[in-house]
Structure 1
């Protein structure tokens, strides 16, 4: 039985993000495409619950309202806010909704290469103006973890880019390629045989192996697959017969750190992402309501591969903004939420 394909990202990347009618038009198009589907005769029974999260008017509306009333948002970037250098429809309006309603939010990325300031500059070029403290990377999560293990600081051998190196420096860790406490692997275009051999030898000599994340692939600017941190980590793991500890998604650790930055409990927070195997499972494992958007890599038929479901499925973040005053979070409510979270 074939399920109709309603994946929308190919259309979204072609839309002018400055068009004020985007959200309304896309929502209407999306609803029309949903209306063409008949749950009973086109969707296999075992997938009906997945599709109910997308098109059942009662479930969808109820859960979307719950998401709109959250105090904190952890937001993936690529596939949610933009594709490459193209802002996705509704992204700007979504950020305006967060600011207008006094929400707390973090843009969370598994990419350890950029600094928060570089990510801020990218969004600024795309038309979204936010401060650098709204960004959190797997490099920062890795630095937080190492600080928790060695509060006095230590030494690291790093294969990575400035974003990772700066995060480690900020937590009191310094570069050492002779006898470091840790070997840390992150995103980089500079991997080669010499560096991987050095990493192997240092781990064999007693350094602990850390990876910012275990993503085995990513895409280049032309949309072609290229190896990512997890692929290079696997090389070192196989040779040294050790397992890398990783801090990025889908680890609940990075979610815990993000919660700490937001100062909110898990019940007052949601995560919005486009990948079932990282964003959604990170929310599941940390008990933070996960929101799947279909503006990235995941399509509805893909959900049959997974034993878990998101809290709700949206066409994109353009579905979230509305003018209901009940979504507004007051300063006193944030202060009270922060006090509650400090005890967790």
Structure 2
């Protein structure tokens, strides 16, 4: 796929693509409205598992972006979807926030500390030594190890914070077990997103700002890939990788259609 005119469905990353530090990026609001007016199915994706879709929808609205709850797909939702597909009505011991526990509850999982099917680690700002110790013991006793996303650090106003990947590495070192990571760059997250909106890879695009997650996962999922330069990537970063996105744009404003949007022929 290299022809944007054939795209009917859209997946897009959130931070660095639509928003930056809680401010909408140029063209983001208009692009979301364009997709809505044209009837293009879309999902806004994030590797952050802390917040529920309702929380994220409210945060985006405060930034001037209208994204309904049903148009948000988080690594927590993708993880819950994966776990339920493997062990319907299963159980889990969770290190994470409301976004993750709510997603697991909604697919019928039980939260337990007694021989759970899975130990699931997600993003949190309140990592507990006791909880990490419990996770290590459960995994050593046979529970399977799942991680929502591989990010080792996250941003804050004071500087970087240890994130899911860092805690997962600690648990892996203590157990000798590597986790299955559901979120980007695993294309599993994109495939579950495609299923969510009834889309096919042949006519779906992925917009992202990271070569190492958004673009590589999009390529592996068979999507049309678009890298925008409003996030962390620059020309030097792009040159590091052996693969290339289908398109490189300065920002999502370049995806706007000029003039009135015709819908009566769709």
Whether the aligned pair in 2 keeps the contact of 1:203 and 1:209 (CA below 8 Å) is yes
Cα distance in 1 for residues equivalent to 2:254 and 2:102: 36
- Map 1:29-44; keep pairs closer than 5 Å: none
Q: Name the counterpart of 2:142.
A: 206
In the other structure, the counterpart of 1:10 is: none
2:212 paired residue number: 277
- 1:244 matched to 2:189: no
> For the Cα contact (< 8 Å) 1:76–1:274, is it kept in 2?
yes
Question: Does residue 1:118 correspond to 2:55, yes or no?
Answer: yes
Q: Residues 12-58 of structure 1: CA distance to partner in whole angstroms, max 9, x if unpaired? A: xxxxxxxxxxxxxxxxxxxxxxxxxxxxxxxxxxxxxxxxxxxxxxx
| Structure 1: 5+ residue stretches without partners | 1-62, 332-344
Structure 1 residues 228, 89: closer, same or farther in 2, change over 3 A?
same
Q: String of CA shifts for 1:306-336, please: whole Å, max 9, x gaps.
A: 11101100000011101368985966xxxxx
Matched, 1:196 2:132: yes
Classify the secondary structure of the residue corresponding to 2:138: helix
Instruction: Indicate how the Cα distance of structure 1 residues 279 and 135 shifts in structure 2: closer, same or farther if over 3 A, else same.
Output: same
* TM-score of the pair, normalised by structure 1: 0.74
Aligned counterparts of 2:213 and 2:33: Cα–Cα separation in 1:
26
Matched, 1:179 2:115: yes
- Structure 1 segments, 4+ long, off by >3 Å, are 323-331
Q: Secondary structure in 2 aligned to 1:306? A: coil
Alpha-carbon shift at residue 84 of structure 1 (Å): 1.7
Query: Partner residue of 2:237?
Result: 302
User: Aligned pairs, how many?
Assistant: 266
Matched with 2:97 is 161
Give the equivalent residue in structure 2 for 1:94.
31
Paired with 1:177 and 1:329, the residues of 2 have a C-alpha distance of 56
Q: TM (normalized to structure 2)? A: 0.95
For residues 108-135 of structure 1, the C-alpha deviation after alignment (integer angstroms, 9 at most, x for no partner) is: 0001111011111011111222321000
Gaps of 5+ in 2: none
Where 1:278 maps in the other structure, the secondary structure is helix
CA-to-partner distance for each residue in 1:176-195, whole Å, 9 max, x for gaps? 11221110000001113222
Matches within 5 A, 1:127-142: 127-142=64-79
1:283-298 aligned at under 5 Å gives the runs 283-298=218-233
Residue 94 of structure 1 deviates from its aligned partner by 1.1
- Check conservation: 1:101, 1:329, Cα contact below 8 A: no
Is residue 203 of structure 2 the alignment partner of residue 268 of structure 1? yes
- Choose the corresponding residue for 1:85, options 8, 18, 22: 22
In structure 2, distance between residues paired with 1:192 and 1:330: 56
* Contact kept? 2:38, 2:261, Cα under 8 Å: no
Aligned to 1:54: none
Say if 1:111 and 1:126 are closer, same or farther in 2 by CA, change over 3 A.
Answer: same
